[in-house]
């Protein structure tokens, strides 16, 4: 079955604008290539959201080429064709024999591409903080004449500045988060099992809001009495009880943009202590919102 490009969340011009900002940064650092391996950065620069980053993959931005080249596992190349704005000749699928191979892996394919592009003796940026020890060593060993520069967070700083279309999508994600919190308020009741409440909340995160479905599920944290003081813990099979305090953390997702939100619920009247914490947090948030400004 031939795979065609699917619907895109952003127009091609938006991706080219993001790449122009990246290339400007590369010029300032005197780099001819940047190997992007952070999954979030790859999503930002191409639109790719498939969950294939548990095996080696990388987006190679060349200063001399309009579109970057995406090197990934061959079985994931169709998803890259479907999801990204890239021309399919810019998508290189490496063979399955490189998976689980102790000697050669997908990073070798990326290094081969850099060598074939004649960049073996140029400045090459890598995101060291997303790479394992052996991979950084491999880049240095196989590109001995190149100047390998740590560009950790370089793309992350660029993507901090959001376009109007990005903000629109983030608002869609936030509407999903709001809908999930409202659903939580309906289903968190004495006698309801935590797992059953989570099932309803997950349903809302997938169905979405205003006709826009969620595009992924981020892990949900739910801590209710007697473990309200714990963090990042999964729900349990306990039932909610009168007097329970419940902390809920979730995030609606649209095209890789997640709008995180935390809410505390109280079954019955909250304690004075909880009420004071609530007032302090609202005051703190208000003070923060008054202080922040564009730029």
Give the number of other CB atoms < 10 A from CB of residue 10.
18
Q: How far is it, in rounded angstroms, from Cα 284 to Cα 287?
A: 5
Q: Does 141 interact with a second copy (rule: CB under 8 A)?
A: no
The answer to whether 6 and 82 are in contact (CB under 8 A) is yes
Nearest Cα neighbor of 261 from 270, 273, 253, 251 is 251
The answer to whether residues 122 and 33 touch, using CB atoms and an 8 Å cutoff, is: yes
CB of 252 to a second copy, least distance (A): 12
Binding-residue pattern over the window 199 to 238 for a second copy, x denoting contact by CB under 8 A: xx-xxxxxxx---xxxxxx-xxx----xxxxxxxxxxxx-
CB of 116 to a second copy, least distance (A): 26
- Report yes or no: 124 and 60 within 8 Å, Cβ to Cβ: no
CB of 214 to a second copy, least distance (A): 7
Stretch that binds a second copy, among 12-20, 33-41, 62-70, 128-136 (CB under 8 A): 128-136
Return the residue of 8, 63, 65, 82 that touches a second copy, per CB under 8 A: 82
**Contact between 173 and 253 (Cβ < 8 Å):** yes
Between CA 219 and CA 273 the distance in angstroms is: 29
| CA atoms lying within 13 Å on the CB side of residue 224 | 28
Token reading at 27? 């010029």
Q: Does 134 bind a second copy (CB under 8 A)?
A: yes
**Residue indicated by tokens 């376009």:** 163
**Under rule CB under 8 A, residue 243 binds a second copy:** no
- Closer residue to a second copy, CB minimum distance, 51 or 290: 51
Asked if residue 172 binds a second copy (CB under 8 A), the reply is no
Cα–Cα dist 46/49, whole Å: 9
Q: How far apart are CA 284 and CA 119, in angstroms?
A: 51
Question: Interface with a second copy includes 132 (CB under 8 A)?
Answer: yes
> Among residues 41, 83, 108, 166, which is the contact residue for a second copy, using CB under 8 A?
83
Closest distance to a second copy from the beta carbon of 220 (Å): 8
Least distance from a second copy to the Cβ atom of residue 181, Å: 16
Binding-site member from 78, 120, 123, 270 for a second copy (CB under 8 A):
78
For binding to a second copy (CB under 8 A), which residues are involved? 1, 3-4, 6, 49-52, 75-76, 78-79, 82-83, 128-134, 136, 193-196, 198-200, 202-208, 212-217, 219-221, 226-237
């Amino acid at each position: 079955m031939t795979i065609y490009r699917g619907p895109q969340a952003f127009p091609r011009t938006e991706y080219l604008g993001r790449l122009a900002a990246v290339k400007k940064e590369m010029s300032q650092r005197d780099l001819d290539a940047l190997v992007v391996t952070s999954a979030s950065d790859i999503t930002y620069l191409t639109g790719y959201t498939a969950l294939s980053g548990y095996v080696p993959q990388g987006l190679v931005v060349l200063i001399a080429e309009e579109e970057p080249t995406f090197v990934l596992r061959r079985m994931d190349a169709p998803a890259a064709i479907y999801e990204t704005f890239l021309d399919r000749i810019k998508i290189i699928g490496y063979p399955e024999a490189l998976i689980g191979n102790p000697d050669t892996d997908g990073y070798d394919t990326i290094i081969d591409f850099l060598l074939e592009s004649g960049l073996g003796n140029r400045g090459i940026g890598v995101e060291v903080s997303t790479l394992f020890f052996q991979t950084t060593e491999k880049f240095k060993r196989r590109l001995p004449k190149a100047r390998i520069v740590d560009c950790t967070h370089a793309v992350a700083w660029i993507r901090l500045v959001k376009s109007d279309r990005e903000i629109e999508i983030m608002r869609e994600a936030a509407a999903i988060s709001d809908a999930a919190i409202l659903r939580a308020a309906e289903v968190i009741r004495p006698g309801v099992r935590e797992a059953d409440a989570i099932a309803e909340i997950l349903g809302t995160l997938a169905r979405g809001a205003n006709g826009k479905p969620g595009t992924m599920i981020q892990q949900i944290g739910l801590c209710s009495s007697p473990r309200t003081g714990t963090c990042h813990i999964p729900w349990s099979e306990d039932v909610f009880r009168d007097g329970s305090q419940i902390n809920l953390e979730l995030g609606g997702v649209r095209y890789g943009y997640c709008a995180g939100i935390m809410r505390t619920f109280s079954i019955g009247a909250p304690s004075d202590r909880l009420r004071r914490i609530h007032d302090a947090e609202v005051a703190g948030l208000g003070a923060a919102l008054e202080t922040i400004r564009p730029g």
